[in-house]
Structures are given as C-alpha cells and as structure tokens.
A and B are shown apart, each in its own frame.
Chain A
Amino acid sequence: MILFGSSFLVYNLAAYASDPLAELRLSTDDGARQQIISLTRSLNLDTPPPIRYFLWLRGVLGIFVGNLNLGMTREASTVQEELAYAIPVTVRLVLVATITAVLFGLALGIISALRQYSRFDYGMTFLAFLLYSLPIFWVAVLLKEFMAIQFNNFLSEPNIPIRWMVIFSIFTGIFWSSLFGGERKRFWSVFGGAFATSFVILWAIDLTDWYLTPGLGPILIGFLAVGIAFGVTAISTGLSNAAAKKAALTMAGLAVVWYYPAQWIFNNVASYFTIFILISLIVLSGLGLSRLYSKIDRGPIARTAIITGILSGFLILVDRIMQSWDDYRATDAVNGRPVPTYGQRKDQLVTEDFWLNNLDIIMHLILPTLALILISLAGWIRFTRGALLEVLNQDYIRTARAKGLNERVVVTRHAFRNMMLPLSSLFVGEFVGLVGGAVITERVFGWQGMGTLGIKAINSYDLNLLMGVNLLLSILVIFGNLLADLVYSALDPRIRLGK
C-alpha cells in the first residue's frame, strides 16, 4: 500500500519534473523527429503521467503471474536486464562494507565502553565525530589519490623512508598505549613496546620487499595461529579451561601441518566448493577435538577449537591469495599498478585462474569499501559504545558481578548478548542506508551499480529506469524495516507481537 503511494508520487513527480524529449525537440534534425516519434511510441509518452503510471504498475504487478515487466529504457533494453546486472555489484560492495564496518565498529565501540573516559575513549569519540562529518565523496577522492595512485607509484619504486616508519610506529604506539591505559610508567612501557614492534616489522617488510612478493609462510602462520589460539580461548572460555586451551592449540598445530597439503589443494582444485569443504572439515575436527579432550561441557571447547581453526584457515587462504600478488601485478591488464581507481572488474583481465580472479575482485573492492567503511564506522562505534554502557548499568550486570563471576563472563555472556539486541535491528537499517550512500561511492569509483544506474536515469530523463531503481530501493526499505522488527521480536523475549 505504502509502496503503491510512494511509487505513484515519485513517478508523477519525476514525470512532470522532466521532459525526456527536451533535447531532441531543440534539434531541427529530421532524424530527431523520427526519434521523438519512436520514443513516444515505445515509452507511451502521449499518455498523461498518472495514467501512464497504471500502465507501468500493470507491468510490475505481472510479477505475481510470473511475467514481470518494468518497461524499456531509452536504449531499448529492458529495465530488468539493467537491474539484474547492477544489483549484484551494489550488493557486493555494500555487504562487504557493512560487515567489515560492523566488526571494527563493534570491537572499537566495546573497548571504548569498557574503558570509559580513558584516553582511548576520548580518542574514539573524536574519531567518530570526525568521520561522521566527512563528506564521502571527499574521502573517496583522497583515497584514490593516496591509496591508489601514490601507492602504485610507491610500488614501482618500493622503499619506505625512515621518516614514515617512525611516524607510523609512533601512531601504533599511541594507539596501543591508550588502549591499555594505566599509570604513566605502564603507558610508556606499552608505548615503547608497540613502537619498537611496529618499527621492526616495517623495517623487515622494507628489507625483504615483502609488498612485492607478500606471503606468510608456514612459520609465520604457526606463530599467528598459536596467538589466535590463546586469544580465542581467553575470550571464549577463559585460559583456565585447560581442555579448551589444549583443543585450540592442537587446532593451531593442525593448521601448520595442513599448510602444504592445503597449498596442493588450492593449486589443483580451487573453487568456492573446495573452500566450503575445508571449512566443514575444520568444524568436524573441532567437534572431534572436543570429544578427545573432555568428557563434560564439550560445547564451549568445540566452539573455541572451531573459531581458532577457521581463523587459522583464513590465514592460509590469505597467504594463498597473497601468493598471486606477483602474478597479478605482472599481468598486462594490471601492468604494475595493482590498486585500481576505477570500475568493479578489470575487463582486460581474462583468466581462468581462481586466485587471480578473486584477487582482482578484492583489489577493486578495497577502495570503495574503505570509503564506505570510514563513513559508517563512526555510527557503529558510537552506537555500540552507548548500547554497551547502557547494558553495563543494568541491575542484572550488578547481580552477575555480585555473584562473583569474573569480568570476562559478565561482559561476554551477560552484557554482550543484551547489547546485540538493539544493534541487530540497526544492522538491517544500516545496510539499507548504505545502499543509498553507495550511490556517491559508485560514481566516484566508476562502479556500474544501482547508484550509477539511478544517476544515469536522472540525467537522461529515463523514467522507467528511474522507477526500477526507486522501486527496488523502496522495497528494500520496507522489507528492511519488517526484518528489523521480526529480528528484534525474535531475539527479545520481552516483546511479543499480536498479544
């Protein structure tokens, strides 16, 4: 019903506000007159807009009898075709951006709330406000300049100047030390540690020309996997749970053992299906490990092992994609400038190689997603922080603490789950909102998605195309709201609809 009203309004507004024939009328050419006649016929321009709307609506309602007709564009292709091409492009962009932004936003917001009024918290607040005030197109242009053009220049002559190493290391130092907080002595020791670590890493990267032939290798993956095992155990079950710790460490060991077989698999039978199979294997072995190490309370142990396994597996995957980097740079289509500023795929890149294709998609995704992430991150940080602070002030948290539960359990079990309630409904809304925000990003980065289609429609007064985009966005908003309500009522036992 609402959809009907809003599409009626938009249709008529757009129809009256624009004259698709204006340009042709100005021309005195004979061909132009021909074109006017043919366009008028194919787009029914001689019927007044309110009536034409119902003609259009009939086509739309055809979806119920399996015969959807959204009309023709000016270039005489059907609107469905154009949309079918554009939707996956936009969805890919927005989905990746939303998920990444949520992960980072949640992490930063939670830390910010747990360390309320610390230096980190103030830093995050300021960062959120700054990001919130940035115009997305401005950010996008900056990213293009500094992350793509200058980075590509840098790659042709790779050498990190010592000055940048120092500056970057200082920033990492400030980040970590503000994160850990504490008295002056601790602040400086953390700062020194982080500074030295990042400086050494950068130096090593510079010496080995790591960014030309990146890769992690089994040894580095081993260290990282053990680190992940400890980290995941600490958050998921606490380090005092010996069985979980053992299971996670075994999983990390398995990851290293599997490194070379995995290479063989990736090189010979690479597909999304293979990756799916490998993930299932990880899940199965996680379950197996939990049976092996414990007789009771296997759930959390299996969970810890599986998360560790998936993260370590992800490292191996990243490593494999990194190995294609050199080949990718060397291909003709890329020609040594691997960070693209334009388009969603390299059309010239014709290859059967699974990894090259994926790397190409990833490289094209990086900048636009980064722009979208930067913009939406601010909201997530603020909202997560607010939600967690509110939950932490509830009585049941105080009860949980009074029972003597340790802080980890209080935060992960009692606070985190309740905090996710308002956030879960927000997720849907944000996703829908970002589709709108993607319009500008697509334009800056030359993606052929929904936004570009909409702009094209407006610029060429292509009413059917515009309505197609508009209809899709409206449906998205309505279903998004519905989904948000449903999710909320499903998660929150206090809300019962239809009572």
Chain B
Amino acid sequence: MKLFGRKEQATGEILAGGENAIANKEVEGLSQGQIVRRRFFHHRAAVIALVTLASLILFVMTSLDSKIGPIRIPGWWKWTVEDIPELRYEDCPGGTTGCPTLSLKPGSSFGLGTHPFGQDDIGRDYFALVMNGARRSLMIMFVIGAVAGFIGVVVGSISGFYGKKVDAVLMRLVDFIQTVPTIIIAAVIGKAAGKVGPLYLALFLGILGWTGLARLVRAQFLQLREMEFVDAARVAGASNLRIAFKHILPNAVGQIIVSVTLIMAGAILTETALSYLGFGVVAPDVSLGLLISQYESSFTTRPWLFWWPGFFIISIALCVNFIGDGLRDAFDPRQRRRITKKDREQAKLQVKAGE
C-alpha cells in the first residue's frame, strides 16, 4: 500500500509555460470540488471501475435475502446458502458432480440454468455461496476502511496539530503497532474471533491497519499548519477546533480518501488471505478466501469451485485500486490534464494567429 502515493504525483508536472496556460484554462473559475469531480470523471479507467464496483455491490447485495433489523428483504436468487438441492450429475465432465450450468455458447443450452456457478460437495448452490462470501468480504472491507480511516485521521491530525510531546507519544504508538507483525497477530485474534464472528475480525483488523494513514495525515498537518492561511485564521480569532476542521482538514482530505481506498483494497486481500489460512472467517460462515481454501485441492477436477471466488476477489480489489488511482490524480493539485498532440497543434496555431 505504501508503495503508491507521494512519488506518483510528479506525473506531468512542469510543462513549458504555454502548455501550462492550456491546462490552467481548463480549471478557470471552478471550485475545488468541481475540479476534482471533473478530473475524476475524465479518468476513464476510474469511472469504469466505479461503475463496475457499484453494479457489483448492487448485484451481490440484492441477490440473497438480507435482514435489516426485523425487516426481511427477499433476494432475487432462488437458492440460499441453507438450501441443499439435489446434486446434478448429467453432462458433467469426467464423472464430476455439480458442474456449472452457465453457458455462453449460443444454442439450446445458452443461459444461466439452475446452478450457473455449479454446486459444492453436498449440493449447495455455488452462486449463493459465492454471493454470500462476496458480501462478507465487502462488509469486512468497508468496516476495515472505516475503522482504520477514522483512527488514522484522528491520531494523525492530533499528532500533527499539537506536535511536540503529544506527537512524540502518538508516533511511538504508531511505531509500536507497526512492529507487531499483522498477519501473525491477526491470526491469533482471528483464531479466537472465529467464534464471535467476522464483524469483530474486521474491527480488529481496522485497529491494526491505521498506522500508515496516521503518518500521512500527520505529515500533512505538520506542513499545513505552517501555512499563511492558518496564521490568518488564527489572527482572526478562530479556535483550534475550527482551524483543524475548517482550514486544515479540507486541504488534507484528498490524500486521506486516496489512502483509505488503498487500505480497503489491501483489506480485502488481507481478509481473504487470513480466511484462506483458516484464521479469518471460519465455517459454517462463508467468505471468498475460505471458499478458495476449501476447494483448492479439487482444482484439477472441478475448477469452477476455484475460479469464481477468485474472480470476485480480483474484480473488487481491481476496481477499488483503479478508483483510488483516479482519485489520486483528481486530488493532486500538481496533476494537470495531459497535453495531447492536438492541444499542442492548437496552441501553435493560436500563436501564429497572434503574430
């Protein structure tokens, strides 16, 4: 996660003066939010990723029954995780059972069929299992992002804003948590948390995952609090809280959002890895990592049990990563629109016309 950020920003910096003018014209008279939104929607990959992720979440969330308090919202998929329909034997390759009925070949078999992703050992519908797992993983991802984001911002901003002793103490705390090997300690907790459920696992992983963000926010605060506009606010009589929330935080928000998306992309991989090792979400609960670990050995005979959970992990992580990239470009004040050949030609023409 740390690899990204900071160093990336240089892209497309320092262009010749004339080209700068072209780029600046683009953002003339727009507010910060408008610029960011505009830049983000110009980032094709990020927009595609955003749309994909949104539809993926919608798809996953509505497919199965969900409970919000006492209200039960029925899902559109016919099987649930508890159902154990009969195992399918016919037309499966090599004497296997429960092969997927999804067929994209045009013809009579085209369509979803009864079990598009196939069935597991005892006949449970694999589509329902994968959906359930994806839901778990998404939930854990968002919880980790929220918890780590919250703690990271609070600790980082306090540390950066007050500096001195508070800073020293909090930064030692960061060092301290960083030396604890995440995967080991998470495994210890996961082993114990297997009994209490995935939500606690997510909370705990969030509690471990905020250190990078805290350092980032601290650095931003340290830099921003020396700026003139903060002095101006202070002279005008603004309170500490007001300065922190109204003047500094909005300036740091870009980096924070980017960092949180990257934490989330990492989180889904951590969760699935832990579940794969048997320390995260444990059976009878379902998660994508757990599904892969359960059917790892049946890859040669029944590969569909392996492909689908992996496909969902990768698509979610990929989408989140691309969105993060788009956001970084959008928030980066040094990032200008790429000067294309066409722009250059036009600029030359303008210069000529001016002469």
Chain A residues engaging chain B, CB cutoff 8 angstroms: 2-3, 5-6, 9-10, 13-14, 17-18, 116-117, 126, 129-130, 132-138, 141, 145, 149, 379-380, 382-383, 386-387, 389-390, 393, 422, 426, 429, 436, 439-440, 443, 454-455, 458-459, 466, 469-470, 473-474, 477-478
Contact = CB atoms under 8 A, between A and B. Distances in A.
B321 A129 contact: yes
Interface string B85-114: 000000000000000000000000000000
Interface residues of B, number: 53
Contact of B176 (A5, A132, A454): A5
A46 to B, nearest CB: 22
Contacts of A2: 172, 175-176, 179
A141 B292 contact: yes
Contact of A455 (B2, B182, B277, B322): B277
B187 A458 contact: yes
Interface in B36-52: 45
Contacts of A17: 188-189, 191-192
Interface stretch (B10-18, B67-75, B242-250): B10-18
Which of B7, B191, B292, B299 has the most chain A CB within a 10 Å cutoff? B7
Contact of A137 (B180, B185, B293): B293
Interface stretch (B55-63, B124-132, B154-162, B306-314): B306-314
Nearest to A390: B10
Contacts of A13: 185, 188-189
Given A3-B179, A13-B189, A470-B180, 5 more contacts: A133-B269, A136-B269, A393-B13, A439-B184, A440-B277
A18 B187 CA distance: 12
A257 B293 CA distance: 53
Which of B3, B14, B187, B279 has the most chain A CB within a 10 Å cutoff? B3
Chain B binding surface, main DSSP class: helix
B8 interface: yes
B9 to A, nearest CB: 8
Contacts of B273: 135-137, 440
A78 B265 CA distance: 40
Contacts of B293: 137
Contacts of B77: none
Contacts, number: 142
B4 interface: yes
A444 B45 CA distance: 33
B317 interface: yes
5 contacts: A422-B7, A440-B277, A466-B184, A474-B181, A477-B181
Contacts of A458: 184, 187-188, 191, 279
Contacts of B292: 135, 137-138, 141
Given A141-B299, A440-B273, A387 B7 contact: yes
Contact of A436 (B7, B183, B317): B183
B234 interface: no
Interface string B142-179: 00000000000000000000000000000010011111
B283 interface: no
Contact of B7 (A6, A9, A386): A386
B265 A133 contact: yes
Contacts of A474: 179-181
A466 B188 contact: yes
A17 B6 CA distance: 39
Which of B180, B279, B313 has the most chain A CB within a 10 Å cutoff? B180
B3 A133 contact: no
A20 to B, nearest CB: 12
A496 B146 CA distance: 38
Given A390-B10, A393-B14, A134 B189 contact: no
A268 B190 CA distance: 54
Interface string B291-309: 0110010011000001000
Interface in B255-299: 265, 269, 272-273, 276-279, 289, 292-293, 296, 299
B122 interface: no
A204 B253 CA distance: 58
Given A137-B293, A426-B3, A458-B188, A439 B310 contact: no
B325 interface: yes
A92 B3 CA distance: 24
Nearest to A419: B7
B78 interface: no
Contacts of A133: 265, 269, 313-314, 317-318, 321
Contacts of A149: 300
Nearest to A383: B3
B348 interface: no
Which of B11, B45, B292, B299 has the most chain A CB within a 10 Å cutoff? B11
Contacts of B11: 116, 386, 389
A383 B8 CA distance: 7
Contact of A138 (B176, B179, B310): B310
A477 B175 CA distance: 10
Contacts of B289: 135, 137
Nearest to B3: A379
B344 interface: no
A473 B181 contact: yes
A167 B246 CA distance: 57
Contacts of B172: 2
Contact of B184 (A383, A387, A470): A470
Contact of B276 (A5, A134, A390, A440): A440
Nearest to A470: B184
Contacts of A393: 10, 13-14
Which of A18, A138, A149 has the most chain B CB within a 10 Å cutoff? A138
B322 A9 contact: no
Contact of A9 (B3, B178, B180, B321): B180
Nearest to B270: A135
Nearest to A380: B3
Contacts of A3: 179
Contact of A477 (B45, B179, B322): B179
A86 to B, nearest CB: 14
Contacts of A443: 277
Interface in B186-200: 187-189, 191-192
B128 to A, nearest CB: 21
Nearest to A437: B183
Contacts of A379: 3-4
Contact of B272 (A135, A141, A429): A135
A130 B181 contact: no
B321 A477 contact: no
Contacts of A6: 176-177, 179-180
Given A18-B191, A382-B4, A473 B184 contact: yes
Nearest to B266: A132
A470 B181 contact: yes
A13 B325 CA distance: 37
Given A136-B273, A473-B181, A474-B181, A383 B7 contact: yes
B141 to A, nearest CB: 12
A18 B181 contact: no
Contacts of B188: 10, 13-14, 17-18, 458, 466
Closest 5 CB pairs of A and B: A390-B10, A133-B317, A386-B7, A379-B3, A17-B192
A426 B322 CA distance: 23
Given A2-B172, A145-B299, A132 B182 contact: no
B300 A145 contact: yes
A478 B176 CA distance: 10
Nearest to A19: B192
